[in-house]
Amino acid sequence: MCLNIIVLIMALYKIENNIQKYAWGSVTSIPELLGIPNPDKEPMAELWMGAHPKSPSLIVSGGVKTPLNDFIASDPDRVLGQQTSRRFAGRFPFLFKVLAAGSPLSIQAHPSIEQAVAGFARENADGIELDAFNRNYKDDNHKPEIICALTDYSAMRGFREPAEIARNFRKLGAGVLEVVSDNLYNSSPENSETVLREFFSVLMNLNRGDMAEIIEKAIDHSCGRWSERGNGLETEAFWIRRLAKLYPGDIGIISPLFLNIINLKEGQAMYLPAGELHAYLEGLGIELMANSDNVLRGGLTSKHIDLPELLSTLKFTSGAPEVLEAVRITDYESGYLTPAPEFFLSKIEITGGEYKPPTGANEPGLPAIMICTSGTVEFADEDGNQLSIGRGESVFAEYGSRMKISGDGVLFRASVPGA
């Protein structure tokens, strides 16, 4: 069915976005989405869409390109709408990304807003440059986030139940961890967070010899009996072998034994609040987060690790992570519900027929950024002005008046809830 969708937009602009070329990126996924060549096979990890000062999108209008953060700062009440502007002190509240994991990312967590404000001020006072290797806090914001799978998407997220972790380490035969493993196995719901904190702290503070011994055992088991069908640890064995090749000697190699492994199908998503230990492993996804670049790492990386700061950030809750399914909002749009005040992710599917919402219909959530992931869509305002985008192209929508969207394609929309 072909759809014509009326949304609240005063002005719509094509935007040009920057690609972050991190070592873990895919050499094919983002180039294929954008329809660009990659003859040198560079890993392209993230396409940033937003107003983060590190790498803002460029508004394209009348042959002029303006950084989105500068465009918003010129008149935040008009561009963002007065309500959004006041809620977020005139700043764009979210950062929208396409994330292409060709290989696993670091094990990491993100700080709360209180930790980010305090940490950013502390490191500024200590004179640590923003781009310094040992810098933890790049800004003063928290970074709750949602990842929505565009392909099959693998990740690790959150601690397994204590007894399950204990069973895995008993199978490993890690004698140096015997005491904390027994504490995990014998824990109760009342003290599970305490014993998980103890386990993780002991694990991360092992001396080099003990750490190397545990890693070697995990690799041996993963190449042997754990890899056999029906063993119960085949998935864990697969990722241990993969991580060992990419990050030799890193204690994060054994993280599949204590973190939940999650496999998202296309269209499924997961939400990550502050303090949740996680690592994206492989796949292409749409990621939406508060407008921050704060990451505290714990392994699988050559970047800075500040273990005390990470431990002060982590939540030591356990259990299977929640997988989010899209909730139908209208007959053309589905959304992913999270508690984040900065962002709302939705998917608009335009596939034939025609849709005309009632007169006066008001869509909350603007301003917005929209990216086309398949097909072609066309925007038209009340004066007949038109703008068309295809696969991999994106637009920024100001807060404002009405505009139609039509065509045959799929849009992901990042917006502000309740704006």
Instruction: Catalogue the active-site residues.
Output: 297
Beta bridge pairs of residue 35: none
Contact indicator for 298, 203 with CB cutoff of 8 Å: no
Tokens coding 149: 């799978």
Non-local (6+) Cβ contacts of 209 within 8 A are none
HSE-CB for 164 with a 13 A CA cutoff: 15
Encoded amino acid at 103, one letter: S
Q: How many helices (H) and strands (E) does the chain have?
A: 11, 21
Residue 91 to residue 408: CA distance in whole angstroms: 33
Helix (H) or strand (E) holding 264: strand 259-264
Among residues 56, 151, 145, the alpha carbon closest in space to that of 101 is found at 151
Residue 134 to residue 118: CA distance in whole angstroms: 16
- Is the torsion defined by CA of 34, 5, 14, 145 positive or negative? negative
Tokens coding 122: 């502390």
Residue 380 to residue 363: CA distance in whole angstroms: 17
Q: Please tell me whether residue 381 adopts helix, strand or coil conformation.
A: strand
Non-local (6+) Cβ contacts of 47 within 8 A are 17, 18, 19, 20, 30, 33, 34, 97, 98
Among residues 366, 372, 373, the alpha carbon closest in space to that of 387 is found at 372
DSSP state of 392: T
